[in-house]
């Protein structure tokens, strides 16, 4: 296993992190504990979760993922071996879809942050989080696959400096070691850094955004923050919901897969351009004796701006396959082949 510094913090995290968003829908508590055991045995030390998990969030299952992790921590007594991260939900675009999380209006103000954090700590059976993240911005912007900026005024949102002040209090209280953002834009990251410097408040250590062979938009503006400001990327969906393994080609929906079980109407990866790109990457993997997952993950962790790639898996076999990416060194030939597809079909599934 290889480890990288989390932003400007004193924390070293594994280049592969354990994503958990299926635990509670597709994975049982026993499954979750087995994944944690294998991950730690192989050197993974970073576990990422969120109060709203598993996704898609539902009133009857939200918070389940944190409880599964918490029961493992309570039984194992291995809290000091884990870098643990969670997230507070943001306000829903459609509050009716998220009424179970503080009435669908989970703004990043004092009441919501304190309530969310205290709830996460209780479920996780821990006194502190190594990293606490804002799951998405408390403002309308182009995230979750929306390419164009919406130019939409918000009826209510919490100023970034107010959010930072509340998070600073949580750090001072010892509940949180470091803070981060997720699904953020270049403007958002810059504003968080500006306000933290202006007010003498904690800096964000990381940004958790999607990054994969099918979505390399992070490279265009956000990647420079790693180089110049010490804000590392925690790359989520590095396998594009598993689409980069090829299992959804031609509209296939294998039994038990994410797109058959919980995201039946999710079609971001069904476009002709996405399917063409996936087919091309599968051929590169075949030519070089790699599994598709190993090629996709090796590409991610090869990037200097990536701190950790967060893999979500529903079986131990998938986790072992993902771990195989650590043994892959991408040749100049492979990189050129990957780049040729990207230049022909750039970012087909943001």
Write the secondary structure of 111-127 as one string of H (helix), E (strand) and C (coil).
Answer: HHHHHHHHHHHHHHCCC
Whether 53 sits among the annotated catalytic residues: the reply is: yes
Instruction: Please give the distance of CA 7 from its chain centroid, rounded to a whole number.
Output: 15
Which DSSP letter does residue 53 get?
A: -
Exposure string for 68-95, b = 16+ CB within 10 A, e = fewer? bbbbbbeeeeeeeebbbbbbbbbbbeee
What angle separates helix 332-344 from helix 272-287, to the nearest 10 degrees? 170
E strand or H helix at 278, and its extent?
A: helix 272-287
In which residue are the tokens 């990457």 written? 281
Q: Write down the catalytic residue from 53, 68, 211, 281.
A: 53
DSSP 229-267: H--EEEEE-TTGGGGGGTTTGGG---TTSHHHHT-TT--
C-alpha–C-alpha distance, residues 227 and 230, integer Å:
6
Q: How far apart are CA 15 and CA 234, in angstroms?
A: 9
What span, in angstroms and rounded, lies between the C-alpha atoms of 48 and 50?
Answer: 7
Report the alpha-carbon distance of residue 234 to residue 238 in Å, rounded. Answer: 10
Report the distance separating Cα 311 and Cα 22, nearest Å. Answer: 11
Rg (the chain; Cα; Å): 19
Taking each continuous run of H as one helix and of E as one strand, the counts in the chain are 12, 10
Distance CA 16, CA 292 (A): 16
- Stated as kind and residue range, the H or E segment containing 160 is helix 160-172
Q: Which residues are catalytic?
A: 53
């Amino acid at each position: 296993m290889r480890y990288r510094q989390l932003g400007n913090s004193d924390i070293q995290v594994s280049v592969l992190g354990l994503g958990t968003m299926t635990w509670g829908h597709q994975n049982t508590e026993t499954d979750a504990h087995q994944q944690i055991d294998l991950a730690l045995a192989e050197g993974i030390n970073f576990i990422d979760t969120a109060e709203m998990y598993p996704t898609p969030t539902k009133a009857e299952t939200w918070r389940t993922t944190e409880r599964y992790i918490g029961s493992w921590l309570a039984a194992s007594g291995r809290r000091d071996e884990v870098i643990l991260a969670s997230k507070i939900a943001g306000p829903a675009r459609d509050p009716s879809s998220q009424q179970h999380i503080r009435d669908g209006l989970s703004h990043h103000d004092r009441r919501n942050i304190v309530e969310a954090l205290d709830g996460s700590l209780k479920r996780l059976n821990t006194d502190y989080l190594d990293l606490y993240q804002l799951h998405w911005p408390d403002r309308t912007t182009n995230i979750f696959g929306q390419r164009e900026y919406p130019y939409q005024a918000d009826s209510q949102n919490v100023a970034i400096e107010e959010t930072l002040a509340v998070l600073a209090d949580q750090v001072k209280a010892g509940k949180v070691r470091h803070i981060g953002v997720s699904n953020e834009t270049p403007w958002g990251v810059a504003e968080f850094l500006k306000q933290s410097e202006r007010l003498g408040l904690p800096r964000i250590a990381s940004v958790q955004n999607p990054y994969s062979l099918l979505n390399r938009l992070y490279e265009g503006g956000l990647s420079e923050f790693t180089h110049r400001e010490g804000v590392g990327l925690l790359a989520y969906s590095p396998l594009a919901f598993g689409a980069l393994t090829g299992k959804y080609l031609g509209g296939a929906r294998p039994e038990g897969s994410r797109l058959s079980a919980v995201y039946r109407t999710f079609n971001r990866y069904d476009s002709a351009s996405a399917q063409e790109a996936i087919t091309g990457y599968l051929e590169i993997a075949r030519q070089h004796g790699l599994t598709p997952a190993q090629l996709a993950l090796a590409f991610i962790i090869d990037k200097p701006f990536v701190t950790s790639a967060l893999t979500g898996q529903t079986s131990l076999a998938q986790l072992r396959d993902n771990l195989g990416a650590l043994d892959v060194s991408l040749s100049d030939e492979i990189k050129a082949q990957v780049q040729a597809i990207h230049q022909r079909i750039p970012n087909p599934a943001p």
